[in-house]
Amino acid sequence: MDCLKEIYHGDGSALFILYGRRRTGKTRLLIESLKGENGLYYMAIESTIEDNLKSLSERMSVFLGDGSFSRIRFNGFEDLLSEFVSRAHGNPILIIDEFPYMFKFRPALLSELQRVWDQKLKNKGMKLVLCGSSISMMEQKLLSRSSPLYGRREGQWKLEPLPPGFISAFLPSYGMDDIVRTYSVCDGIPEYILKFRPEKGFEWNLDNRVLKKGRYLSEEGSILLLQELNNIGNYVRILETISLGKNRQKEIAESTGMDKGMVSKYLHNLVTIGYLEYISPFGARRKSRMGRYVFSDNYMDFYFRFIYPNSTELQTGILGFDMIKEDFNTYMGRTFEKLVRLIILRTGSFKEVAPWWHGEDEIDIICRDERRKELLIGDIKWRNRQYSGADLSTFMERCGRLSFKGPFRKRVFIVSRKGFRRNIISELDDEGILHFDLERIGPYILDSRFDPREGDLNNS
């Protein structure tokens, strides 16, 4: 909001780009930002440019208080914007939401906008905000160096999902266990979290607001794919495969029976629209061949793990939490790891935060602090039992096999949902191993920032 207000009240004209995943609250943010401002909001329609020009001119006519404006036959977008800015008082703000709907049917629209901006708008004090949910189109067509608008924008903002700590604002009665579980299903998408009834517990909401035929979240995954992509069948097969843990390109191709080149293309598209990400093990280069494709979006992960494969059960009304409970805890293991990595990254203290794997060895998280020359090595466990001495031995053996160059001091930390067996707590303290149960890490989750070293009671 503050960024938009600065744009609105800045000197001169300004072109601003707002974009991000669907359902993150972009439209609500834009409408709220216009309150008390000299501005007009327009939601583009998925139709021809002629239909959009007619609809936009009608709204401009109302904004201007000039009925004759809507009766003008404009030759194109250039004519419409030129006439609007010549009649508007002060420094008008024009917001066009879902702008990709307009240039989807007329690619030359961006060049037309470039011309009218350079020749008419940039010296008229106009503020133009272009918004879109198609991340790939916004980045490739509006933000790339090849875009006709390159070098003309005042700024851009990618609206990300909310951090996990914000869930408590929507569901204030929820304890930490339910906050984390809700985040694993809804991610930080406000539209999804709002579907949960705050007076009801997590399992009730999952059964009645997600895993129930006809509910908004029971089909949202497929609807999103249909809005973003063509011929979604192959994309669905790939997403189902990754949800089951097969996440290397070769594994995906073998499991789906698809050609590796085709799989590569589909994976690229899914990364571009923000549903997947490619991660490399800690210490490897960013595009390492050892990398894996994982979900970057918790809702899509949950949907293709539990809803889509159980479509028959959903339709017949027998799908519910009791049916998925056992597998859900396994699923929670990886989403909890991702949550911890996210809130560590948000501290800004670490140059690299990533999982590590080599052969059969895996470590959930390693963080590199260049300034303090420290490596933090973490074991993150979401289980229905306490962390045991056997767990500790296995983890420390893996840590002992780590070998990284550089003068880095190694420190170990453990996060365990159910805490630790009493007989190992003194050992953890004696060895200087930082340890957190869900209650102790809870305040960091609510703050959406976590540096494990701040939990060192010996140095506090």
Q: What is the pLDDT of residue 457?
A: 46
What domains does the chain contain, in order, with CATH numbers?
2-158 (3.40.50.300), 164-330 (1.10.10.10), 346-459 (3.40.1350.10)
The residue with tokens 């851009």 is 156
Handedness of CA 66, 71, 72, 78 (dihedral sign): positive
Q: How many CB atoms lie within 10 A of CB 242?
A: 26
Task: Please tell me the predicted confidence (pLDDT) of residue 341.
Answer: 97
Structure tokens at 97: 């939401």
CA 364 to chain centre: 21
Written as six digits, the tokens of 364 are 């959930």
Q: Which amino acid is at 25?
A: G
Contact 233, 342 (CB under 8 A): no
The burial of 146, by beta-carbon neighbours within 10 Å (0-12 exposed, 13-18 middle, 19 or more buried), is given as exposed
Instruction: Write out the two tokens for 382.
Output: 């979401």
In one-letter notation, the amino acid at residue 63 is F
Q: 10 — phi, psi (to 5°)? A: -75, 165
φ/ψ bin of 330: left (φ > 0), alpha (ψ from -120 to 50), beta (otherwise): alpha
Task: Return all residues near 438 (Cβ < 8 A) that are at least 6 apart.
Answer: 176, 177, 180, 416, 417, 418, 419
Residues 6+ apart with CB under 8 A from 26: 18, 19, 20, 97, 131, 133, 159
CA of 199: how far to CAs of 17, 195, 303, in Å?
38, 12, 24
Burial of 81-117, coded b for 16+ CB within 10 Å and e otherwise, reads bbbbbebbeebbbbbbbbbbbbbbeeeebbebbbebb
Residue at token pair 């009730």: 204
What is the β-pairing status of strands 352-358 and 14-19?
A: unpaired
pLDDT of residue 405: 77
In order along its 460 residues, the chain shows pLDDT tens digits of: 789 999 999 989 999 999 998 999 999 999 999 999 999 999 999 999 999 999 999 999 999 999 999 899 998 899 999 999 999 998 999 999 999 999 888 888 999 999 999 998 988 899 999 999 988 888 888 999 999 999 998 999 999 999 999 999 999 999 999 999 999 999 999 999 999 999 999 999 999 999 999 999 999 999 999 988 888 999 999 999 999 999 999 999 999 999 999 999 999 999 988 899 999 999 998 888 899 999 999 999 999 999 999 999 999 999 999 999 999 999 999 999 999 999 999 999 999 999 999 988 999 999 999 999 999 999 999 999 999 999 999 999 999 888 887 789 999 999 999 999 999 999 999 999 999 999 999 999 999 999 999 866 444 3
Taking alpha carbons only, the member of 36, 39, 90, 31 closest to residue 62 is 39
State the pLDDT at residue 232: 93
Given the DSSP bridges, would you call strands 39-43 and 155-158 parallel, antiparallel or unpaired?
unpaired
Q: According to the model, what pLDDT value does residue 286 have?
A: 83
Question: For tokens 């992960």, what's the residue?
Answer: 301
Q: Give the SS3 label for residue 166.
A: helix
DSSP three-state, residue 171: coil
Calculate the alpha carbon distances from 57 to 37, 157, 222, 414 in Å. Answer: 20, 27, 34, 60
What's the rounded Cα separation, in Å, for the pair 54 and 431?
Answer: 71
Structure tokens at 418: 């159910």
Measured CA to CA, the distance from residue 292 to residue 247 in angstroms comes to 5
For residue 106, the model assigns a pLDDT of: 85
Contacts of residue 410, defined as CB under 8 A and 6 or more positions apart, other chains included, come to: 374, 375, 377, 399, 402
- Phi and psi torsions of 351, nearest 5°: -70, -35
Q: Please check whether residue 167 is in contact with residue 196, taking contact to mean a CB–CB distance below 8 angstroms.
A: no
